Amino acid sequence: MRILAIQTAFSVTSGGGRADYEILSELACRDNIVEIVMPRANRMIATVPPGTQVHWISARGMKIPQSLGITAFPSVLRAALRFRPQIIRDHSPYSYGLMSLWISRLLRIPIVGMIYHIDDSIRGARWVEKYLLPRYDQILTISCHSMSNLKQRVPEISDRVDYIYCGVRAKSAVLDAKDNSWRNKLGISDDVPVFISSGVLEPRKNYNFLLDIMDKWSKMGRDGILIITGEGELRDELDRKIHEMDLVEKVRLVGYQSETDLVRMFSSSIAFLSPSKMEGFGLAVAEAMACGTPAIVSNKGALPEVVSHRKTGFVLPINQGPEPWISAMISLSDDSALCKFYGEAAESRINDMFTWERAGTETEAVYQQVVDQYHHR
């Protein structure tokens, strides 16, 4: 197939950006021809998927909904007429929907839209869902939770919405776990127990809840620290609260880490903590589990689809305070056999259910079906 992928950017440090990168890589390695169109302004920060071609376009987003797509229309149309795709993949109907549909109609080819999770903070989101999504040939999400939410909000597209889970690349966790050089870099002794959380520092990730947990953990006299990797809008606020709560010795904000060091951190941690208020999938959680690390997560979004309660970790409420979380952390800290058992089960679950190879195969099959159905109308 000839696939035109319309992107805003590739930020592999975010779950959605990583999913786009991996899926397009998988499609390209299956002998599909993938051409990506993306704003030239993001050229310096883009990690281009291997095997794909990129056409840099002129586009400028403003505060008006769909403005990015409207300004990109002439450039994308020229690229599409030259490339002659068989199908369009729109990674963000909330940004490009109107323009992508115009291109689809002009070229008389089908279009698939990606919705990673419902986000009411996006300007014009409801308008897109009401007027644009019903015009797509297929909508793909990344979890059963996201699919169900979308069907409830836009019932008229129920027969055209499906989900394909994200995946994780195989991790050399055992080998990397033996290398504690990351501890030396961060000034953490080898004997200090570590919990870890990773992701964009934004409100929905609920990092303040983690600070409350570690505050009580510290007051209980428990040993161990929490490492939080990633960057985002809450960095300064979290740093300030850590100092105000006297948690400097218990919580470390370490920014973005190399993939190698991140694997080592995951492998060396007692558990991955994610009290997120909403997750379309939970890629960071899955990556930690792939390293043999149990996960303690909230019961929100798609996290219960990734973590199996009391089998690969714990799925807990976030409206009952830190106590249930502390109890789970103590269980894993004080029972090394249980921690090992959950960790091995977590790794097996990811290897069995969540791989990019599987996601790529399923995505290609859906695209081919959409193309075939479009031409047999």
pLDDT per residue as tens, the chain (377 positions)? 999 999 987 777 778 888 999 999 999 999 999 999 998 887 777 788 999 999 998 877 666 777 888 888 999 999 999 999 999 999 999 989 999 999 999 999 999 999 988 877 778 889 999 999 999 999 999 999 999 999 999 999 999 999 999 999 866 444 545 678 889 889 999 999 999 999 999 999 999 999 999 999 999 999 999 999 999 999 999 999 999 999 999 999 999 998 889 999 999 999 999 999 999 999 999 999 999 999 999 999 999 999 999 999 999 999 999 999 999 999 999 999 999 999 999 999 999 999 999 999 999 999 999 999 998 87
Find tokens 């009580």 and name the residue.
216
CATH superfamily of 2-167+355-374: Glycogen Phosphorylase B; (3.40.50.2000)
| Other residues' Cβ atoms within 10 Å of the Cβ of residue 119 | 12
pLDDT of residue 123: 80
pLDDT at 16: 84
What amino acid occupies position 31? D
Question: Which residue, chain included where needed, has tokens 């031409």?
Answer: 375
Distance of CA 353 to the CA centre of its chain: 16
Q: Which amino acid is at 336?
A: S
Which residues of the chain are in CATH 3.40.50.2000 domains? 2-167+355-374, 173-353
Give the integer Cα–Cα distance in Å for 273 and 276: 9
> Cα–Cα distance between 95 and 375 in angstroms, integer?
27
Q: What is the pLDDT of residue 172?
A: 47
Kindly report the pTM of this predicted structure.
Answer: 0.92
Asked if residues 44 and 38 have their Cβ atoms less than 8 Å apart, the reply is no
**Do 126 and 91 contact (CB within 8 A), yes or no?**
no
What's the CATH code, domain 173-353? 3.40.50.2000
Q: Quote the pLDDT of residue 41.
A: 80
Dist CA 361 CA 133 (whole Å): 24
What pLDDT was estimated at residue 173? 44
Which residue's entry shows tokens 């889970």?
A: 165
* DSSP tag of 131: I
Using DSSP bridges, classify how beta strands 2-6 and 33-39 pair: parallel, antiparallel or unpaired: parallel
Hey, what are 299's tokens?
């019961």
